Amino acid sequence: MKKMSVIFAVSFLAAFFAGSLFAQEVKFAIPLPLTGTNAKFGEIEKRSYEIAMEEINAKGGVKGKKIVLVFEDSQGKPEVARSIAEKLIDVKKQPVIFGEYSSSCSKAIAAVAEERKTPYLVVTGATDDITQQNYKYVFRLNPTNAYYASGLISFFKEVVKPMSIAILYESSDFGTSGAEDMVKQAEKFPMKVLTKEQYEKGAVDFKPILSKVKSEKPDVIYMVSYVMDASLLMRQIKELRIDAKLYAGGAAGFAIPEFIQSAKEAAEYVVTATLWSPQVVYPGAKEFAEKYKKLYQDYPSYHGAEAYSALYIIKDVLTRAKSWTPDGIRVAMKGTNMVTAFGPIRFEDKAGYTNQNFMDTLVLQVINGQFETIWPQKYATKKYVYPIPRWRDRK
């Protein structure tokens, strides 16, 4: 009997000391696609949340409480995401929901959150209508699809002043919506759309379509492509010596290191829109990118930066919130005004959006085989190169 009580006392003491670092913990479940076709992005985001969690806990957590994250696999399916959200709100009584990757899943959760009056922070879903439905409880930190290319457009307006554009895009949701947006922007400009051509992902030879573009002599060639198509396109443009004033990519395939590795000198001077890059000047961005690379041998995509920053926003909101109830958190979230590694965050109601964060999207240019931020000028790491030399004048 005596022995028992000693064990009790020891284990009690152990528990007490272990717990003394953090008196309490606060637990959040994050829905993410951990299996299925979007699993790669789910993984990037999961790792980024974990990096943020460790940093925050190392600095004392939130109001002295340790943050504990668990991840719920939505498989990238809206109906699964929906049921996860219902469970978190109804059963777990989690006062705030954040996470998910795709637009369709984010949309499903947004509907549940609004109905149950629980704040939801959208981290990566980019379809415009998520924050256009006058939802009071749904906030979004990432710019919407329609604003992805806004930095590029302002670069066009102020520097390039093109009269005509040729648009090539992959025949997927991403490619099509990117191309449609550019057409809309071109009408406003005004700039004449000479060609708008889609291609099947995985095409080997772009020369036929590029020859056609060449014969039309556009000022700008704008391409929306994934991974390797981007470098094939630029290599074949160089081969055919198509001399446009500017070659522009719509993020994705043009904004990743593989693009330069694979296209080499054909990548030089190409500009691309992007939401974020490891080179951006926001505080903490470079540190996060390097830490991620050290752990996982690769730089994170902008999705990683969004997830990483999301947890910092949550921490900031919880610190300011008067009470950790859904309504207390909603009020605090509305008052957010901070700069994260992803960029400045403020949730505004304007242009038909509610609780939407508007921020400058960036333009990168490949200069000397490196991505450099060139636009907006206040974030520039290097001065843009324009006009660019003609192909035959390059070495």
Partner 1 sequence: MAAQVELFLQTLISGFLLGGLYALIGLGMALIMGVMRIINLAHGDLMMVAMYVAYWLFTLFHIDPYLSVFVATPLLFFLGVGLQKFLINPVMKVESILPHNQVILTVGIGMILANLATVFFTSNYRSTPVSYASKAWYLTDFWKNAPIELSLSAPWSLSFLAAVIITVALWFFLTKTDTGKSIRATAQDIDAALLMGVNVGVMRAVTFGIGAALVGGAGCLFIPIYYLYPSLGKQFTNVGFVITVLGGMGSTEGAIIGGVILGIFESMTATYLGMGWAPVGRFLIFVAALVFLPGGVASILRKQRLGK
Q: Which residues bind partner 1 (CB under 8 A)?
A: 40, 171, 197-200, 202-209, 211-212, 214-215, 227-228, 231-232, 235-236, 238-241, 258, 261-266
Residue that the structure tokens 């056609």 belong to: 212
Report the nearest approach of partner 1 to the CB of residue 33 (Å).
Answer: 15
Which three-class secondary structure state does DSSP give residue 24?
strand
Q: Which is nearer to partner 1, 65 or 235 (CB)?
A: 235
In the complex, the smallest distance separating the C-beta of residue 171 from partner 1, rounded to whole angstroms, is 6
With b for 16 or more beta-carbon neighbours within 10 A and e for fewer, the 69-85 pattern comes to: eebbbbbbbbebbbbbb
Query: Which CB, 56 or 203, lies closer to partner 1?
Result: 203
Q: Give 160 or 266: the residue with its C-beta nearer to partner 1.
A: 266
Q: How far is the CB of 250 from partner 1 (least distance, A)?
A: 17
Contact 321, 110 (CB under 8 A): no
Cβ burial of 330 (10 Å; 0-12, 13-18, 19+) is buried
Minimum Å gap between C-beta 271 and partner 1 is 19
Question: Strand, coil or helix: what is 322?
Answer: coil
Cβ nearer to partner 1, comparing 154 with 198: 198
Write down the least CB distance from residue 395 to partner 1, Å.
12
Nearest alpha-carbon partner for 201 in 180, 155, 232, 178: 232
Nearer to partner 1, 89 or 168 (CB): 168
374/384 Cα distance (integer angstroms): 5
* Nearest distance in Å: CB 249, partner 1: 16
Longest dimension (CA), the chain: 94
Least distance in angstroms from the C-beta of 225 to partner 1: 12
State in angstroms the smallest separation of the CB of 302 from partner 1.
Answer: 18
Q: How long a stretch of residues is the chain? A: 395
Please list, residue by residue across 123-156, b when 16 or more beta carbons sit within 10 angstroms of its beta carbon and e when fewer do: bbbbbbebbeeebebbbbbbbbbbbbbbbbbebb
- Give the nearer residue to partner 1 in terms of CB position, either 107 or 238: 238
User: Given the complex with partner 1, which of 142 and 301 has the nearer CB atom?
Assistant: 301
Looking at the Cβ atoms of 133 and 236, the one nearer to partner 1 is 236
Q: What three-state secondary structure class fits 95?
A: coil
Q: Whole-number minimum distance, CB 175 to partner 1, in Å?
A: 11
Q: What is the DSSP string of 156-215?
A: IIIII--SEEEEEEESSHHHHHHHHHHHHHHHHTT-EEEEEEEE-TT-S--HHHHHHHHH
Both tokens assigned to 279: 């080179």
CA neighbor of 172 nearest in space, from 124, 127, 225, 223? 225
- Residue 1 or 204: the one with the smaller Cβ distance to partner 1 is 204
Q: Are 336 and 119 in contact (CB under 8 A)?
A: no
